[in-house]
Amino acid sequence: MRGCAFHQFSPSVLLTTLLTLCSFAFADTAVERVGWPEVTYDPAVPTLESVLGYAPGEQITSIEQAHAYLHALSEAQPARTRLIEYARSWEGRPLVYFLIGNELTMSRLDEVKAGMQALADPADLSGSEIDALVAELPAIVWLAYGVHGNEISSTDAGLQTAYHLLAAMGEPFDTIGDNTLVAIDPSQNPDGRMRFVNHFRETYGIEPSVSAIAAERREPWPAGRTNHYLFDLNRDWLPLTQPEVIGRVKTFQEYFPLVHVDIHEMGTDSSYFFPPPAQPFNPHYVDAQQEMLDAYGRNNAKWFDRFGFEYFTQAVYDAYYPGYGDSWPAFHGSVGMTFEMASARGMAGERRNGEIVTYADGVQRHFVTSIGTVETASVNRESFLRNFVEYRRSADAGEHGGAREYLIPLTGDRSAVHKLAANLVRHGIEIRRTTETARACDVELPVGSYLVTSRQPAGRMVRTFLETESPMAEEFLSEQERRRSLGLRAELYDILGWSLPSLYNVDVVPCDRVSVGEERFEGDNIPVYEPPAASQLGWLVPWGSQAAGRFLAAAQRAGLQVQGADEVMTLANRRYDRGTLVVRLADNPEYDAGELHRVVSQLAEVSGAEVVATDTSYSEEGVSFGSRSVMALPAPRIALAWDDPTVSYSAGNTRFVLERQFAYPVEPVRVEHIASDELDRFDVLILPDGGNYANGLGARGVERLKNWVERGGVLVAMSGGMRFAASDAVGLLPTDLELLAGGKEANDDEGDVVGGTILVDQDAYQQAILPEAPRPDSLPGVLLRTKTTQDTWLSAGVTDGVAFMVEGRDVYRPLTLDEGWNALYFEASENLGAGGHLWAENRQQWAFKPAVVQANYGDGLVIGFVADPTFRAALDGANVVFLNAVLRGPGHTARVR
Ligand SMILES: [Zn+2]
């Protein structure tokens, strides 16, 4: 034990004694416990220990404990604080933020919010009104902890930050209070944190196990990083699918904080990261934002240097993808930051060099950067407020360039069009809707089409969300090409493509001039279809939309007999494309015509699907209802492979898509139990992305699975799952992975010597060091466009152009005609990209390669998705194919039911 150091392993009685003996003053060069040097504390503010019974850093605080402490602080300081719930997690836990300001600020909180909202739209203000608001408004600082639930130390750092902002006397605290309004979100992911905390408490003994393989520090599947549906909430700021993030985005727009900090942990062997971030930057950052990031970084560095803490900046964590907690706020004119601390992943962890990282180390460092951030915002309050105003003014004035308008015609999947518009409204983007038909920039705009101008305060967000590309800096790209030529990994942190129109498969057309009757769209009055008319025969539901998918799922779940037409029909002069659903009275004899009409009407209302009554089954062109191409679609019972070796994101996101976007139940089954006879209860088994399924299943499991498919099961295998199904040892899918086209051939030379060569120049040397038989270079997450094969039910309802998010290097050869179908395949190289930078040789090799394949196996069916159609639950376009696979697949097997 070092001097007066806080010792987190001691029983609290001993600890109290030690703290009493030790002075609260610290050497300038080191802070050895969680606290700030040379300050005194107001005894009227309760300490963590007085409320929870342990000192900061001594225990990993649960969500309930954190909330209890914040309650105690707010009871002790009611005039300076406010504790507000902003969302509920899937498991029912409240998400809160704790506001701290001086009494004046807190007494006029509504005025402060209104002031920031007014500054956010500066075109409506005069210069003197802006000056007055800038003079009086506090700098609002948002400190958001623990978005990844197993990055644990940040929550306790948040509690210490709250305590110090209320209790500490001395610098820098004395000057912070009057300039700032600080919000502390103690845990952005309470479900994930509690998954970690419960696991840790279950495995903890009498003292910390510091080994990297200690049970308490190695979580079982799924780790606490993700929320209930296993989403990475720090990627959801763009698709906005999870309640935790939806609540945060809404709250952000109440306050428009000047800075939003997202506080994390990284590997135990690392040190500490704070901004400035690494390259590449999203091109819509402005210089003033980079300067502010630099100012925050310099101040945090000042404190870290003073305390002797190691750190790094400008590496690893970039600022390119706009859907992080540290990037999204930038597109509203604030700045966002990520802080990362080496994780103890428990109470203490041993680094490879023998050093011990403690939980208290993490709490202390995150606490110091939290205070350093508040101090920077306080000192620069006025200039940062003016930067915020200028960002929004310049966007509103269109100084970022780009098209003036983005047109979203109400065509194709109309439910996806509405969803895109509603999503943009949630992001704080102003949307208008047309009230008359019009034509602009060669596009027909039916009534109810949407218009999004880039000439608005969030105009740069409009551009990065709606444009296909957000280009990276040329010099950054050429450096990456140089690295790749040397066989080094490209320095990219996350996906490169995120264009919302590509994700949703919605047409968005840039246009500089449009003149049409219009109204403001607020996001809440999305039109629903007319209720269907009565019929004595049945109803048709055109396929290919999210809404029709919800209708099929709801109808199957309600026990209706639904048929699906695999061919085009023309009834009463209307053409119905492949995939149309048919609900016939004759197939549902337990209902009379009136009852069935009522049921179908209810399903139309809940799903938003267009449902058309028909009094004839005579098809003027194409198939009639009695055709073999009109197949019964019985309600499938769906199992989803769960637990190791599945990738938790893929398993969780897939479950979410079925359960929450299409309201269809799915039963997760641990991979080790797939060998059970219980498998026969299921019609569909989904293998999400995963590692070594062959090991996870074992030889018996693989045989059992193959036998189940052979007898009529439908196997839907995605990315890693497809790799397993297509492997030679398993042989469920007749395709093969490709090597890099034009790569160096394998040298079949055996033995210890090779023939002599003369390397005449540098180029020859570079050739000589290339690896043999290389795989294609990995894609970091790029949207690739596909084409459909028009002759398979698996692509029914899909218009050309639906995009998939492709990660990795799994290029497959197309299936031959005798092997099966390439239901969707990637576009020609010139049309391939739908968002994100593509290396040239990837662009060539991925063209015309399969994206979704199907092959019969015995009486069953194997469907392979090269890339997850459920990626982050954001690929609404690809979901239509996914629904075809899981909800229609069983209707297309030879299984006897
Ligand atoms: Zn993290």
Distance in Å, CA 186 to ligand 1 centroid: 14
Distance in Å, CA 197 to ligand 1 centroid: 16
Distance in Å, CA 267 to ligand 1 centroid: 10
Q: Could you list the mean pLDDT of each consecutive 10-residue stretch along the chain, which spans 897 residues?
A: 36 38 35 80 97 96 98 98 98 98 97 98 97 98 98 98 97 90 98 98 96 97 98 98 98 98 97 93 95 97 95 90 96 97 97 96 97 97 98 98 96 94 97 96 96 98 96 91 83 89 96 93 80 95 96 97 94 93 96 96 94 86 80 96 98 98 98 95 98 96 97 97 97 95 77 83 86 87 93 90 94 96 96 93 95 97 98 95 97 70
Q: Could you count the other beta carbons within 10 Å of the beta carbon of residue 599?
A: 18
Give the length of the chain. Answer: 897
Distance in Å, CA 265 to ligand 1 centroid: 5
Distance in Å, CA 646 to ligand 1 centroid: 21
Alpha carbon distance 659, 71 (integer Å)? 35
Distance in Å, CA 523 to ligand 1 centroid: 31
Please give the C-alpha separations between residue 524 and each of 423, 426, 466, 768, in angstroms, as whole numbers: 11, 10, 21, 62
Distance in Å, CA 146 to ligand 1 centroid: 7
Distance in Å, CA 264 to ligand 1 centroid: 4
Please, what is the angle between helix 109-119 and helix 127-136, to 10°?
140
Distance in Å, CA 147 to ligand 1 centroid: 7
Q: What confidence score (pLDDT) does residue 15 get?
A: 40
Please give the C-alpha separations between residue 263 and each of 141, 222, 305, 696, 736, in angstroms, as whole numbers: 13, 21, 20, 35, 43
Distance in Å, CA 235 to ligand 1 centroid: 10
Q: What confidence score (pLDDT) does residue 423 get?
A: 97
Distance in Å, CA 494 to ligand 1 centroid: 13
Distance in Å, CA 805 to ligand 1 centroid: 22
Q: What confidence score (pLDDT) does residue 425 get?
A: 97
In 3D space, the residue among 199, 276, 193 whose CA is nearest the CA of residue 227 turns out to be: 193
Alpha carbon distance 267, 225 (integer Å)? 13
Distance in Å, CA 621 to ligand 1 centroid: 57
Distance in Å, CA 188 to ligand 1 centroid: 11
Q: Which spans in 171-275 are helix H?
A: 173-179, 190-203, 243-255
Residue pair 432/520 in contact (Cβ under 8 Å)? The answer is yes
Distance in Å, CA 152 to ligand 1 centroid: 10
Alpha carbon distance 729, 713 (integer Å)? 20
Distance in Å, CA 362 to ligand 1 centroid: 13
Q: What confidence score (pLDDT) does residue 628 get?
A: 80
In 3D space, the residue among 738, 758, 732, 757 whose CA is nearest the CA of residue 747 turns out to be: 757
Distance in Å, CA 266 to ligand 1 centroid: 7
Distance in Å, CA 246 to ligand 1 centroid: 19
Distance in Å, CA 351 to ligand 1 centroid: 19
